[in-house]
Structure 1
Amino acid sequence: MRTRVELEPVYLLSSRAYRDSSLLLEVFSRARGRVGLVARSARGGNSRWRGALQSFTPLLLSWSEAGELGTLSGAEAAGPALALQGERVFHGWYLNELLLRLLPRHDAHASLFERYALALAQLAGEAALAEEALRIFEKHLLAELGYGLLLPDELEPAQRYRYDAELGPLPAVADDASAYAGASLIGLRDEHLPDAPARRDALRLLRAAIAPHLGGKPLQTPRLLRELKARS
């Protein structure tokens, strides 16, 4: 049975060549989750899709689907493209890679869609808020997938903790370099990371929490950004 979808809010996650002249798109849809679409004849110079399919731009797409892949039939911008520059472009690509790697197709997450839109908007702000936005998005992504962090109300800011995936934070000795500051865990729980130590702890904890769900294949965007910084 063929289904038609009309003017669905989406963001473009990736685009690559497909067959002779088409593109294979992966999009994140508010109502339908991650969806694969074929944009036929999209690589020709006179393509109707030329310039319409841009990352970090809210889009309204229409398509028909009768199996794993849909066929794009309409595309228009639903708002201006976000002006991500420099490292912020890599941060946006990182969010996209997370969704591509962790979200199954056709599994709707409307609240995560709104979180993604908010995170993109925050990436255009000051550096500290942009980094905080990445960590909070990672936290919500894990929760949406059923792997949410355990960050109880009883955390003490002056205590250091090690983190157990099944038990949550456990008290650690003061000189345990791998432990997390209680204040950092509280900040992550309350979604406010006011200083560099809190943001570093949140980065370590969330990367460790995400890693088991990547099937042993590391994310590529952080590596590309590290290589870029090393060359500059």
Structure 2
Amino acid sequence: MIAAPCPAFVLHSRAYKETSALVDFLTPEGRLRAVLRGARGKAGTLARPFVSLELELRGRGELPNVARLESAGIPYLLSGHALFSGLYLNELLVRLLPAQDPHPALFDHYAATLAALAAGRALEPLLRAFEWRLLDDLGYGFALDRDCQGQPVDPEALYQWQPELGFQPVTQQQPGLFHGGELLALAEADWGQPGALSAAKRLMRQALAPHLGGRPLVSRELFNNRKESRRD
């Protein structure tokens, strides 16, 4: 458990007892859940997403207390689609990242992604890159340039994604397939290739689904509802 100050971001918080909050933090030491007492005071104003923090915990066991929480930088000001994208990243981490499992490189990638979102960078490449990094860090990564039999991907062939196996070559067209050329573009992160971004989004949804336990992502539903309301 963290005794010395540690960099952190708030992923999620909810009311706990009368004046406290139960907060999920992302730190280089992994995802940590702790009780923030007096959450309606100054500390509570810091316990919001997308703020770079310095965190210190006190106590042992699965639910320590926040001993100190201070701002460590300028908040990342996200709005519109960038805000929903940040909430999506937070929900993925809460749902998929095991508690107290150190991932320092993932922490750095998360901070860099927030900075890029705040700077107005294109959303889709940032989200796909983060999803890929998350899967890879959790041990669920897979090759994009070879099929499930270890053969090089044929740019002219069709492939079906098979969880725990990889890409299975197929000969008949059906929903959800990938062209070999799309997979090779993804392997090179060539987002300028026609169809690469849509293929990446489709692939990440298929690859993440087995790890989400069949429960929909709230952030995705909120984003879809917002798009529909704006059409109306």
| Alpha-carbon distance, 1:195 to partner | 5.0
**1:150 aligns to 2:148 (yes or no):** no
Q: Look up the equivalent residue of 2:36 and give its one-letter code.
A: A
| Alpha-carbon distance, 1:176 to partner | 3.7
State which of 83, 90, 96 in structure 2 corresponds to 1:89: 83
Q: What percent of counterpart residues are identical?
A: 37
Change (3 A) 1:152 1:91: same
2:164 maps to which residue? 166
| Alpha-carbon distance, 1:165 to partner | 2.4
Change (3 A) 1:61 1:86: same
Task: Name the CA distance, whole Å, in 2 between partners of 1:194 and 1:125.
Answer: 20
1:27 maps to which residue? 25
2:109 maps to which residue? 115
Q: Look up the equivalent residue of 2:12 and give its one-letter code.
A: S
2:35 maps to which residue? 38
Change (3 A) 1:121 1:179: same
Task: Name the CA distance, whole Å, in 2 between partners of 1:7 and 1:191.
Answer: 36
**8 A Cα contact 2:38 2:44, kept in partner:** no
1:75 maps to which residue? 69
**8 A Cα contact 1:124 1:130, kept in partner:** no
Task: Name the CA distance, whole Å, in 2 between partners of 1:109 and 1:79.
Answer: 21
| Alpha-carbon distance, 1:19 to partner | 0.2
Task: Name the CA distance, whole Å, in 2 between partners of 1:4 and 1:114.
Answer: 18
Q: Look up the equivalent residue of 1:42 and give its one-letter code.
A: A
1:52 maps to which residue? 46
Name whichever of 199-208 and 158-167 sits farther off: 158-167
Name whichever of 51-60 and 83-92 sits farther off: 51-60
**8 A Cα contact 1:136 1:188, kept in partner:** no
Query: Which residues in structure 2 correspond to 1:181-200 (within 5 Å)?
Result: 181-194=179-192, 197-200=195-198
Deviations along 1:103-148, one digit per CA (max 9) or x if unpaired, are 1111111111111112212223446x32111111111111111111
Change (3 A) 1:79 1:183: farther
Change (3 A) 1:165 1:93: same
| Alpha-carbon distance, 1:89 to partner | 0.7
**8 A Cα contact 2:182 2:199, kept in partner:** yes
**8 A Cα contact 1:184 1:201, kept in partner:** yes
- Where does structure 2 lack aligned partners over 5 or more consecutive residues? 147-151
| Alpha-carbon distance, 1:202 to partner | 0.7
2:149 maps to which residue? none
**8 A Cα contact 1:4 1:65, kept in partner:** no
Deviations along 1:29-78, one digit per CA (max 9) or x if unpaired, are 11x201011111112xxx23142223112111111131111111111222
**8 A Cα contact 1:132 1:192, kept in partner:** no
Name whichever of 101-110 and 159-168 sits farther off: 159-168
State which of 206, 210, 227 in structure 1 corresponds to 2:225: 227
**8 A Cα contact 1:12 1:56, kept in partner:** yes
Question: CA RMSD, aligned part only?
Answer: 1.9
Number of residue equivalences: 225
2:123 maps to which residue? 130
Tell me the secondary structure at the aligned position of residue 35 of structure 2: strand
Task: Name the CA distance, whole Å, in 1 between partners of 2:115 and 2:123.
Answer: 9
2:133 maps to which residue? 140
Task: Name the CA distance, whole Å, in 2 between partners of 1:164 and 1:131.
Answer: 23
Tell me the secondary structure at the aligned position of residue 134 of structure 1: helix
- Where does structure 1 lack aligned partners over 5 or more consecutive residues? none
Name whichever of 53-62 and 181-190 sits farther off: 181-190
Change (3 A) 1:192 1:124: farther
Tell me the secondary structure at the aligned position of residue 80 of structure 1: coil
Task: Name the CA distance, whole Å, in 1 between partners of 2:2 and 2:75.
Answer: 26
